Amino acid sequence: MQATDNINKLFQNLHIPSPSNLIGRVKEKDECYKLRYEVPGVSKEDLKITIDDGVLTIKGELKEEEEEESDGEHWSMRSYGCYNTSIMLPDDAKADEIKAELKDGVLYITIPRTEKPKKDVKEIDIH
C-alpha cells in the first residue's frame, strides 16, 4: 500500500496541467481581438470551434498511444484528454468573419471588430 501512495505522491508533485485546463491569452487591437490557446498534440481534425448565440466554444480531443519494447519488456502508454472552453463574444465582434489557425500546437483565433460609433460625451457642471 505504501508503494501506491508513493507513486501517487510522485504524480501529484509533477504538476502536469490537465488538458481540460485550456488557458488562453487575449490581445485587443483597434481592428480585432486576437486569442491564443496552447493545444499541444491536438490536430486540426480533433478541434471544433463553434459560435452559438454570441458564445464562441472551442472543443478538442487529445489521444496519444505509445508502445515500446526494451529488454524483453513491453511498455504501453495511453493518454486521453479533452479541451472545452467558451467565451462570450464582445458586442463589436464580427462573428461571420472570425478566422482560426493551428500552428505548432498553438491555436490562433482572430475576431474582427466593427467600428465603434463615437460616443457623445457631455460633461455636467456641478453647482
Tens of pLDDT, residue by residue over 14-72, are: 444 444 556 788 999 989 999 999 888 888 999 999 999 999 999 988 877 777 887 77
**What cell does 12 get?**
501529484
The DSSP H or E segment spanning 69 is: strand 55-70
Whole-structure pTM value: 0.67
* Residue 25 CB neighbours (<10 A): 9
Identify which of 100, 116, 126, 118 has the alpha carbon closest to the alpha carbon of residue 44: 100
